[in-house]
Amino acid sequence: MSKDLFDAMRQSVIDGDPDLAAELAQKAIDQGIDPVVALNEGFVPGVNYVGEQFGLGEMFLPELVVAGEAMKAAVATLEPEFAKRGTERQILGKVVIGTIEGDIHEIGKTLVATMLSASGFQVYDLGVDVPIMKFVEKAREVNADIIGISALLTTTMVRQKDVIEALQDNNMATKVMVGGAPVTQSWAKEIGAHGYSEDAVGAVAVAKNLMGLA
Amino acid sequence: MGGTIKAVENPKLSLNMFSPQDVQRLHAATLEVIEQVGIRFPSRRAQEIWASHGAQVDSKTGIVKAPAHLVESALKKAPPVYTLAARDEKQDLPLDGRHVWVGTDGCGVEIIDLYTNERRRSKLQDVEEIARVADALEQVAFHWVALSAQDKPAHTRGLHEIAAVWRNSTKHVQTESIYNVAEAKAAVEMATVVAGSREALRKRPVLSLMQCTAPPLGHDGGSLDAALIGAEAGLPVGFMTMAACLTTGPATLAGNLVVGNAEVVAGTALIQLAYPGAPVFYAAAQTASDLRSGAYTGGGPEDFLFGAANGILADFYNIPISMGAFATGAKEPNWQAGLENSLSTFMASIVVSDMLLGVGFLHGSRIWSFEQMLMDCEIYEIVRRTLAGIEVNHETLALDTIKAVGPGGNFLSQKHTRAHMREIFVPEYLDRRPYNVWEEKKDGPRDWARKKARNLVETHQPDPLDPAVTRELERIIAAEEA
């Protein structure tokens, strides 16, 4: 009986159907299924399947994104049940992410946020035009492991460095990942960022690496 | 005096891509999007202009919904023809729907160093050297700021860049790197100095401004304000959409055109509402995102189709276009670069895109390569000659010569041959040598291009800017830096 439910959960992620994923998550709660089990037996295999197919070149980025959104919907539905049972969802790490002050370019940052969240990170997306201290304050508030800073302009890219300096001034050891079209490996290195990736899929590997997971 | 400039002129070849109904449907869909979905204009000034003309403005979200008639009547005020002025009048570029002018691409962040062959971060000196080489090349008609002067402060970088180009070239400058009020005002002041006066600048704009939109369906506030300042001074301004299938636009090409078109059309209408009759241009570099990474690709069949489609839309609105061609995704000048840049340039040129961007980049407009720049010029030269087509008349039919030679002879010693042989293309960067010569030397087009670029960097002397003008430009930049 649970197997049918788990299969449906897996499929809802593969099909990228957030409404159905949430509905199935609720069903699991109603049936008294442990949310940890629902997640690990039902939804995660779906994400893994999509990841594998993506690696094989059989599925593409939009499918990865909708799978991530279905996963997010499932987690959001299960979240109160975790709290009720006094357990916690296992996460790979906490990431605060945003596009730097003066820059409104959103798509790359949002893609990275979605990929990270689909891969099991807890993501706090601050949006665009994010002031330097807001990165720092949010990271402190949620005890973030990683801050991700996006910039599309060479003139705003320089502020990625300001975030790193502000973290140092505040004696915080939060790791920093940077990205965006003008950002390069050498720039990341120069400003003392801990990670850099040119695309969203690569960013997940970098984040896992920073968490000592890869 | 500056050199001559070669343009595609009145191509004999043509493209039949859309029916008139197709274009009408794209236009109607665009107006529907602007009216019902709206376009984000995150600038108080832009919102005020829209509101004063009766558009629906949500000041909280910045989204403007404008009725079709308002947009259409505004667009009708845009001049269909005008001239981009150069420091050297002989290098002025008429945007008259009959020419394709090529610029340098921009704005990248790294360069393959001409001497060490290493990739490194860009600086002001690179902007100067690229401008100097572009000044010397007959195929390059105008400049974009090719690289970001990252050794200059962020808030005046755009000013250092245009001054550097003016110091090193007599050709028109179109900057894509000025996108805030302070820099735009200073840039207008600088252009005024170069042109001589405010009135002279209005008549002969030596500077034009290109602003990127923020797809989907949005603009950047600083860019809007900068464009309005430029338009007020009579500088040609344009909005460039880079809406890309899958990410910032729909997966379908027509849908992506609608998104991009809505951004450009709404931005252009805003300029016409504020300054009716101001010179404006359409600008686009649409493409499909890569299915795996989501990255902007700058190549592939979708890219080539957009290269022509955006030009057709600009023609429909009867305004010039600054079109993104070239810009290969290749990491070095290679097979991919040749393929992508040839086809994108061909497609954008056959529809007579007035301004074509641009020569010199690798890795999707991020890494400058002088080798690629020179080979791109050759690609353009080949496209230019291809589009000239085949002229059929008494002289070109060569009947007298054919009769004189008859069966079995050859045409080498004919007077007609000598009269016309220089019309035949002689490549600089195609290897047509005997195999054994290549085998012995193992060199090729990249080596020849590098050699020529070094030679131009070291020897080409552009007509210098009047020292008084140079000093005045420096003063303006210094005042901004203070």
pLDDT for B190: 98
Asked if residue B2 has pLDDT above 80, the reply is no
Q: A61: which chain B residues are within 8 Å (Cβ-Cβ)? A: 246, 289-294
Tell me the torsion sign for CA atoms B434, B435, B441, B443.
positive
In contact, A167 and A136? CB cutoff 8 Å: yes
Residue-wise over B330-347: b if at least 16 C-beta within 10 A, else e?
A: bebbeeebbebbbbbbbb
Instruction: End-to-end CA distance of chain B: give it in Å, rounded.
Output: 36
Q: Does residue A107 sit at the B interface (CB-CB below 8 Å)? A: yes
Q: B246: which chain A residues are within 8 Å (Cβ-Cβ)? A: 61-62
User: Do strands A195-196 and B39-40 pair parallel, antiparallel, or not at all (unpaired)?
Assistant: unpaired
Q: Does residue A158 sit at the B interface (CB-CB below 8 Å)? A: yes
Identity of residue B238? G
Task: Report the pLDDT averaged over residues B56-67.
Answer: 97
CB nearest to B247's CB, from A107, A156, A181: A107
Residue-wise over A15-32: b if at least 16 C-beta within 10 A, else e?
A: ebbbebbbbbbeebbeee
Using the 8-state DSSP alphabet, how is residue B3 labeled?
A: P
Using pLDDT thresholds of 50, 70 and 90, give the confidence band for residue B139.
very high
Strand order in the sheet with B110-112: B119-121, B110-112, B367-368, B361-362
- Three-state SS string over A10-73 comes to HHHHHCCCHHHHHHHHHHHHHCCCCHHHHHHHHHHHHHHHHHHHHHCCCCCHHHHHHHHHHHHH
**Alpha-carbon torsion, ordered A40, A44, A49, A55, to 10 deg:** -120
pLDDT for B315: 98
Among A residues 109-148, those touching chain B with beta carbons less than 8 Å apart: 111
Mind listing the pLDDT tens digit for each residue in B213-236?
Answer: 999 999 999 999 999 999 999 999
Give the separation between CA B4 and CA B441, rounded to whole angstroms: 34
Q: Residues, chain B, total? A: 482
Q: Do A154 and B157 touch (CB under 8 A)?
A: yes
pLDDT for A88: 83
Q: Domain A93-210: which topology?
A: Rossmann fold (3.40.50)
Mutation for A interface: B150, B289, B292, most A CBs within 10 A: B292
Give the separation between CA B79 and CA B96, rounded to whole angstroms: 10
From A155's Cα to the closest Cα of chain B, the distance in A is: 5
Using the 8-state DSSP alphabet, how is residue B206 labeled?
A: S
Mutation for B interface: A101, A104, A111, A201, most B CBs within 10 A: A104
Domain with CATH 1.10.1240.10 in chain A: 2-85
Domain ranges in chain B? 8-13+79-387, 20-74, 397-423
Of the candidates B265, B312, B256, the residue with the CA atom closest to the CA atom of residue B23: B312
Give ∠ CA B77-B78-B79 in degrees, rounded to 5. 115
CB-count exposure of residue A119 (10 Å: 0-12, 13-18, 19+): buried
pLDDT for A157: 94
When mean pLDDT is compared across A82-96, B116-130, B260-274, B300-314, the lowest value belongs to A82-96
Give the separation between CA B289 and CA A201, rounded to whole angstroms: 14
Tell me the torsion sign for CA atoms B272, B276, B281, B282.
positive
Mind listing the pLDDT tens digit for each residue in B324-370?
Answer: 999 999 999 999 999 999 999 999 999 999 999 999 999 999 999 99
Q: Do A198 and B150 touch (CB under 8 A)?
A: no
In contact, B246 and B296? CB cutoff 8 Å: no
User: Is the CATH code 1.10.3720.10 the one for domain B8-13+79-387?
Assistant: no
Q: Do B154 and A158 touch (CB under 8 A)?
A: yes
Asked if residue B148 has pLDDT above 70, the reply is yes
CB-count exposure of residue B293 (10 Å: 0-12, 13-18, 19+): middle
Residue B382: Cβ within 10 Å count: 17
Instruction: End-to-end CA distance of chain A: give it in Å, rounded.
Output: 36
In contact, B248 and A181? CB cutoff 8 Å: no
Asked if residue B1 has pLDDT above 70, the reply is no
The dihedrals phi and psi of B284, each to the nearest 5 degrees, come to -155, 145
Asked if residue B237 has pLDDT above 90, the reply is yes
Q: Do A62 and B251 touch (CB under 8 A)?
A: yes
The two structure tokens encoding residue B257: 């055109």
User: Is the CATH code 3.40.190.10 the one for domain A2-85?
Assistant: no
Percentage of residues in chain B having pLDDT higher than 70 = 100
Using the 8-state DSSP alphabet, how is residue B354 labeled?
A: S
Of the candidates A108, A187, A124, A111, the residue with the CA atom closest to the CA atom of residue A154: A187
Q: Does residue B252 sit at the A interface (CB-CB below 8 Å)? A: no
- Three-state SS string over B404-447 comes to HHCCCCCCCCCHHHHHHHHHCCCCCCCCCCCHHHHHHHCCCHHH
Asked if residue B323 has pLDDT above 80, the reply is yes
Domain with CATH 3.40.50.280 in chain A: 93-210
Asked if residue B63 has pLDDT above 90, the reply is yes
Residue A206: Cβ within 10 Å count: 23
Mutation for B interface: A105, A106, A153, A204, most B CBs within 10 A: A153
CB-count exposure of residue B458 (10 Å: 0-12, 13-18, 19+): exposed
Q: A150: which chain B residues are within 8 Å (Cβ-Cβ)? A: none
pLDDT for B104: 97
Of the candidates B106, B80, B75, the residue with the CA atom closest to the CA atom of residue B94: B80
Give the separation between CA A140 and CA A155, rounded to whole angstroms: 27
Mind listing the pLDDT tens digit for each residue in B79-124?
Answer: 999 999 999 999 999 999 999 999 999 999 999 999 999 999 999 9
Using the 8-state DSSP alphabet, how is residue B95 labeled?
A: E
From A104's Cα to the closest Cα of chain B, the distance in A is: 7
Helices (H), ranges, chain A:
2-14, 18-30, 35-37, 44-55, 61-85, 107-118, 132-142, 154-169, 185-190, 200-210
Q: Do B155 and A184 touch (CB under 8 A)?
A: no
- Report residues of chain A scoring pLDDT below 50: none
The dihedrals phi and psi of B430, each to the nearest 5 degrees, come to -115, 135
The dihedrals phi and psi of B469, each to the nearest 5 degrees, come to -70, -45
Give the separation between CA A193 and CA A187, rounded to whole angstroms: 8
pLDDT for A189: 95
Asked if residue B463 has pLDDT above 70, the reply is yes
pLDDT for B229: 98
Q: A153: which chain B residues are within 8 Å (Cβ-Cβ)? A: 179
Q: What is the ipTM of this complex?
A: 0.86
Using the 8-state DSSP alphabet, how is residue B90 labeled?
A: G
Of the candidates B263, B156, B193, B178, the residue with the CA atom closest to the CA atom of residue B228: B178
